[in-house]
Amino acid sequence: MSQHHIHRVMQQAVALHQSGRFPEAEKIYRDVLAKDPRNADALQLLGLLAHQSGKNAEAADLINKAITIRPRGEFFLNLGQVYRALGRTAEALEACRRAVQMSPNIPEAWNNLGSILKDAGKYAEAAAMFRKAIALRANYAVAHSNLGNALAALGDGAAAEASLRDAIAHDPNYAEAHTNYCHLLTRLGRLDDAIAVGRRAIELKPSLAVAYSNLGTALHLQGWFDEGNAVYARGAQLDPANARLHGNLLAGFNYRSTATPQQALEAHREWSRRFASVTTPIAPHANDRSPDRKLRIGYVSPDLRRHSVAYFLEPILTHHDREKFEITAYSNTETADDVTERLRQKVDRWRDILAIGDDQAAELIRRDAIDVLIDLAGHTTGNRLAVFGRKPAPVQMTYLGYANTTGLSTIDYRIADDVTDPVGMTETHYSEKLIRLPAPFLCYAPPEAHLTPDVVEPPMLRNGFVTFGSFNKAAKVGPETILLWSKVLQALPSARLILKSRGLGSTGSGRRIISSFAAHGIDAGRIKLVEANQSLRDHLAAYGEVDIALDTFPYHGTTTTCEAMWMGVPVISRIGQTHVSRVGLTLLRSVGDDDLAVDSDDPFVTLAQRLAADPNHLAVRRKALRSRLSGSRLLDSIRITRDIELVLRQAFISWSQS
């Protein structure tokens, strides 16, 4: 085969490759290599085709062979993409750096380098790379879109929006830019716009699974729960391997009580079988089994930042007995903040695992010889449950971050208490074995003093009517909650209701909530909807407009309940038979407010009437509540930490004796 003929057939193969006719292109590449085994172009293009077909290990081998024959920037560029797909971030970065060194005028090289830096959580560096790509090609829509994502992660919403708008202006049919813009608008609380843009992304590219994920999230936050689930389900059908989309569907079991706990358990177990199981046997753990030695504890979380999980974790990290326990944080946190830095100072080791794959993270945990590994996310965004599926520690637990089972057979225990999960009530709801702490199972850390306003008198003393309120997220305000609260408002015709949540300033959220209450005879003028975009201090100060807080049902509030009590606002809770519908009881009981938790609708209404009928009693109760909370078991961080340490030790001993 002459060089002229090879050149001609390679042109034919590339044309077939670009048109998506992979088998025909592959045959020609292989025919060329049979005649000319050192044809670097054929090796590299065959490797690229393998990558596009999902055969990334083969792709890496082929492209590396091409590079040994004839190193080129384009080859390193494609190799970086292959390593990125394999989760080999360090090698992907090195390949992309070589690509920009050898071919600094290729915009794609800078863009790909930025993408990998973004994956690694290095957003400022990534943004600089995207800007270099744009400098080389001003209308490079992909780079504009990626720059928008990086700027969003850096917290610069205005600049991020400008970049995403530029991407769409340069390519109005670029679906990925639309879905990235949907995600940003959701974060900014502009849910009407987010939903419109998300729907446009799907119109442009109905096969784009991430578009369904982002649109479903915006719909959920507006409270259109069933519609959001339908969108998630469609995305999951399109991308059966998308663990996040399938995980999003599991949230429905917490927000609605239409399914049984057994149905919820099976759905979680199915997710585990599909996305967290490994085919190779799990290697035995070589940890020292001495029962009294210092134990290595690992916490895994995407929320080591100003987040509800951090509020309940920080007191435990502060009070762990460092003579008996060595603490490692495995952070999958996308955007660090001041709380991140504070938490970093409270552990012995800090490991960032955002940029490494599940196998690498599991290997790291094994090398660290962690004795007890604790998941703090469950099926929430950013979880690393697939790491737990590899069983890198001999004892594994789940705690705090998710109000249901993980479904993983490799997670041994779930930490709760004897109020949220009384003996004989919920054991069959979980794949894990329950460990019950003395109630409450969590420890609240109030906001810093400079972020905490003073408690004010009940607003009913000046208004002449009672104002109920809930600052829980809109998705929790579903049909069951609205029916329950409507009964309260029907019983107290002069009462008002304030709802405050991210997205409630949007037209869609307001329409859903107002129309749902109207169906129960509640006039729109009695309901005030507030967007939750204030500072933490202003958010807490808003409790000054609320006389009595109403808990959601079946999915109770946690942080919101604690914050309401911290601001002196009593909370009424309707309890049920599952963990998510009993958290309110354990929180209220911890401060001696058992009388505010009832097990059916009628007593809930009666309780609301009784509190509203006695403003002076309400004022006394309000004035004393922060003090009672401060002296309660809920804020007794040393006691709760010791309780947790005891069960960690007991669980390890149980393993060591097995």
SS3 for 589-621, per residue?
HHCCCHHHEECCHHHHHHHHHHHHCCHHHHHHH
Q: State how far Cα 133 lies from the chain centre.
A: 30
Condensed to tens digits (0 to 9), the pLDDT of residues 262-302 reads: 999 999 999 999 999 998 899 999 999 999 999 999 999 99
Is 90 exceeded by the pLDDT of residue 88?
Answer: no
* Tokens encoding 488: 């309260």
Whole-number pLDDT of residue 370? 98
- Per-residue pLDDT band for 189 (boundaries 50, 70, 90) equals confident
- Give residue 5's pLDDT band: very low, low, confident or very high (50, 70, 90): confident
Residue 477 CA to residue 216 CA, distance in Å, equals: 17
The average pLDDT across 122-128 equals 95
Whole-number Å distance between alpha carbons of 403 and 443? 16
Residue 1 confidence (pLDDT): 56
For 448-492, the three-class secondary structure string (H helix, E strand, C coil) is CHHHCCCCCCCCHHHHCCCEEEECCCHHHCCHHHHHHHHHHHHHC
Binning pLDDT at 50, 70 and 90, where does residue 234 land? very high
Contact yes or no for 185/176 (Cβ under 8 A): no
List all residues 6 or more positions away from 45 whose beta carbon is below 8 Å from its beta carbon. Answer: 10, 13, 14, 17, 25, 29
pLDDT at residue 282, rounded to an integer: 93
* Residue in the structure block whose two tokens are 């639309």: 178
Q: In angstroms, rounded to a whole number, what is the distance separating the alpha carbons of residues 645 and 642?
A: 5
**CA-to-CA distance for 43 and 45, rounded, in angstroms?**
6
pLDDT digit string, tens, across residues 473-511: 988 999 999 999 999 999 999 999 999 998 888 888 889
The pLDDT score that the predictor gives to residue 472 is 96
Show Cβ contacts of residue 240 under 8 Å, excluding neighbours closer than 6 positions: none
Residue owning tokens 């999902």: 54
Least confident of 125-129, 531-535, 564-568: 531-535
Return the pLDDT at 257.
86
Reported pTM: 0.88
Instruction: Give all strands of the β-sheet with 527-531 in edge-to-edge order.
Output: 527-531, 496-501, 467-470, 548-550, 571-574, 597-598
Residue 597 has pLDDT above 90, yes or no: yes
Which pLDDT score, from 0 to 100, does residue 252 have?
83
- Tell me the backbone φ, ψ of residue 233, rounded to 5 degrees: -65, -40
Query: For the sheet containing 325-331, what is the strand order?
Result: 349-352, 325-331, 295-301, 372-375, 395-398, 413-417, 433-437
Task: For residue 554, say if its preceding peptide bond is cis, omega within 30 degrees of 0.
Answer: yes
Residue with tokens 């670097």: 40
Q: Is the pLDDT of residue 207 over 80?
A: yes
Q: Give the tens place of pLDDT for each residue, 426-469.
A: 999 999 999 999 999 999 999 999 999 999 999 999 999 999 99
Q: Where is 393: in which H helix or E strand?
A: none
Residue 356, pLDDT above cutoff 90? no
CB 14 within 8 A of CB 22: no
440: tokens are 């409450």
**What is the tally of helices (H) and strands (E) in the chain?**
30, 13
Q: In angstroms, rounded to a whole number, what is the distance separating the alpha carbons of residues 322 and 18? A: 59
364 φ, ψ (degrees, to nearest 5): -60, -45
Report strand pairing: 571-574 vs 548-550: parallel
With H, G, I as helix, E, B as strand and everything else as coil, classify residue 331. Answer: strand
Find which of 224-238, 277-291, 641-655 is predicted with most confidence, using mean pLDDT. 641-655
Q: And the tokens for 457?
A: 């008198």
pLDDT band at 13 (very low <50, low <70, confident <90, very high): confident
Contacts for 48 with CB less than 8 Å, ≥ 6 apart: 17, 59, 63, 78
Contact between 562 and 619 under an 8 Å Cβ cutoff? The reply is no
Whether residue 186 contacts residue 218, with contact meaning beta carbons closer than 8 Å, is answered with: yes
Percent of the chain with pLDDT strictly greater than 90:
85
